[in-house]
Chain A
Amino acid sequence: MSRKRLVQGLVWLGLTLLPLFIGEWQTLQLAQFLTYGLFAMSLALAWGRLGLLSFGHALFFGLGAYAMALATMGRLPGLEAFPSSWLGLALACLVPWATAQLLGFFLFHGRGLRGAYFGITMLALAVLAERLTQGTAWLGGLNGLIGVPPLALGLDGGGPALLDPLPTYWVMLGVAFAVFLGLEMLLASSRGLAMTAVRENEDRLGFLGYDVAAIKRHGFALSAAIAGLAGALFASQFGFVSPKLIGFGLSAEVLIWTALGGREMLLAAFFGALLLSWTETVLAGLLGAYWLLALAALLVLSVLFFERGFVAGILTLLSRGRRPGRR
């Protein structure tokens, strides 16, 4: 086993044991942050691997959250009597996935939108989605939807439900871990290599015979599906969805988490989101509005000293040990 794997294993083990040493309320809060971590991993995939700097990634998180809320609250036309968590989860992945596929056709094929234009388009879409959500009664308008039920095992929404802090935390962690493993395997495969190559030099990749637009579209859609899954898990824990989940604010936050954690390393982005959300709850109480200042300062420092994110910097140092390594 390589040292890198050992460090990764220790991080996951630490996260598994962590709730045994903290209070119930903190465990619940951390369980919520795990969904942010999952969200950050989805952005790390799009941005860190495919070079798709999305300024509006909350669009997909929000789509997932609302899909989950509508499904489990029995608000889907024709499916009112079938408020299944499973249906909610499936839709929460499928709707963002399909949305991203569709967007991908317009944004990547043909001449294709590059760099900042792609980012700005995503930003505009997230803002638009936020406004639309605010104005749609079916979606609860400005107030959002209150009373999203917790995850339930039964196919019809009945059966044992995920209520207690510890199981909730572990289920969230399990999902995050499964997604992490799946993505790591994908990235280690030749498909993953092609994705990294898109980030490095997409024009060149085309000359090697690869369909770059298709790689971007499928990768983007996968990222969207994971963001949607994160949104769904968040909604079912929080019991509440609001237009904030789909708009600019959360889009900016996930960008900061991912940038500070490390966009090119899934675990760094994931852990960065956990750490920053956690720090926020502690420091926001202490610092009040100055928290944003502190965050901005942190971002500047991180960009200056850890161009690839500070969690990534630390993990890389640990993985390398004293041996001189590469990358």
Chain B
Amino acid sequence: MTLLAVEGLEKRFGGVQALAGLSLSLDEGGLLCLLGPNGCGKTTFFRVLSGETAADAGRIDFADRRLEGEGPAGRARLGIARKLQTPGLFAALTVAEHLALAAASPAAHGPVDAAALLARVGLGEHAETPAGRLSHGQRQWLEIAMLLALRPRLLLLDEPTAGMTRAETRRTAALLRELNDKDGVAAIVIEHDMAFVRELDVAVAVMLQGRVVATGSYAEVGRDPLVRELYLGKRA
């Protein structure tokens, strides 16, 4: 069953056409990696999807309902949880308080076992540590754990492995896999790290200049001559 259907999304910032007819769909429990060069509109897509900014044209259907007008809080209550490109945490609050905050939110979709969740992202020992004192990788995981505590229907992760070491990146991939397989959380992940994408081995959508130009498995997309030339060729 389709969870998210995006049709012809457009967004212009002054002279920049950040989204130019983006269409995309994701099944319930699906996992999708969104690739694309810098400035192709990936974050803008997340911003529109999470209600931070309105699209100029196009439609978004989420869980059999057309999204229109709700702000970030409204979309969060519908079950869309977004991880920001730079960790969005509350520096003075402890790790445990972050989860409590999420669990008490009007957007929380059910009870959570905070201790288990923290153990899962490797923060079990750090429940009482203020977020401001965590390492970069730990912050990324805390933010993911906080979003998971909302028990969202769709997780939007904007470059979750940015600034992580190889080992941390691999752990994040494993965590995502597990979340998707075991808990059935649907997710769209923006990534630059090809090794991470290969490791995840999931469906991939390649964006270019504000629209999706290729979809398929990592291998399929990798064979697409346009994608090779425009994107992967320059990087991989």
Residues of A within 8 A of B (CB): 190, 193-194, 196-197, 199-201, 203-212, 326-327
Contact = CB atoms under 8 A, between A and B. Distances in A.
B108 interface: yes
B93 interface: yes
Interface residues of B, number: 31
Chain A binding surface, main DSSP class = helix
B170 interface: no
A70 to B, nearest CB: 40
A194 B101 contact: yes
B93 A207 contact: no
B171 interface: no
Contact of B130 (A190, A203, A327): A327
Interface in B37-60: 50, 52
Nearest to A214: B73
A6 B150 CA distance: 36
Interface-central residue, B71, B105, B150, by most chain A CB under 10 Å: B105
A208 B150 contact: yes
Contacts of B128: 326
Given A193-B93, A201-B89, 19 more contacts: A190-B101, A190-B104, A193-B104, A194-B101, A200-B91, A200-B92, A201-B91, A204-B84, A204-B88, A204-B89, A207-B73, A207-B82, A207-B84, A208-B150, A210-B106, A211-B73, A211-B106, A212-B73, A327-B92
B129 interface: yes
A204 B82 CA distance: 10
A327 B97 CA distance: 14
A227 B73 CA distance: 31
A111 B101 CA distance: 24
B88 A203 contact: yes
Interface in B65-106: 71-73, 76-77, 81-82, 84, 88-94, 97, 100-102, 104-106
Contacts of A206: 71-73, 76
A201 B71 contact: no
Nearest to A197: B90
A207 to B, nearest CB: 5
B146 interface: yes
Contact of A193 (B50, B72, B100): B100
Interface string B118-132: 000000000011100
B107 interface: yes
Nearest to B76: A209
A326 B128 CA distance: 8
Contact of B101 (A203, A208, A326): A208
Contact of A210 (B81, B100, B105): B105
Contacts of A193: 93, 97, 100-101, 104
A326 B92 CA distance: 10
A-B residue pairs, 6 tightest by C-beta: A209-B107, A209-B76, A190-B104, A200-B90, A204-B88, A209-B105
Contacts of B50: 207
Contacts of A194: 101, 104
Interface-central residue, A208, A326, A327, by most chain B CB under 10 Å: A208
A165 B50 CA distance: 59
B101 A207 contact: no
B101 A197 contact: yes
B130 A208 contact: no
Nearest to B94: A326
13 contacts: A193-B93, A193-B104, A196-B93, A201-B89, A206-B71, A206-B76, A207-B82, A207-B84, A209-B73, A209-B76, A209-B77, A209-B105, A326-B128
B146 A208 contact: yes
B71 A209 contact: no
Contacts of B72: 206-207
Interface-central residue, A190, A194, A197, A209, by most chain B CB under 10 Å: A209
Interface string B150-174: 1000000000000000000000000
A194 to B, nearest CB: 7
B69 to A, nearest CB: 14
B129 to A, nearest CB: 7
A197 B107 contact: no
Contacts of B97: 193
A194 B98 CA distance: 10
A208 B75 CA distance: 9
Nearest to A264: B92
Contacts of B91: 200-201
B144 to A, nearest CB: 13
A190 B149 CA distance: 15
Contacts of A200: 90-93
Contacts of B130: 326-327
Contacts of A203: 88
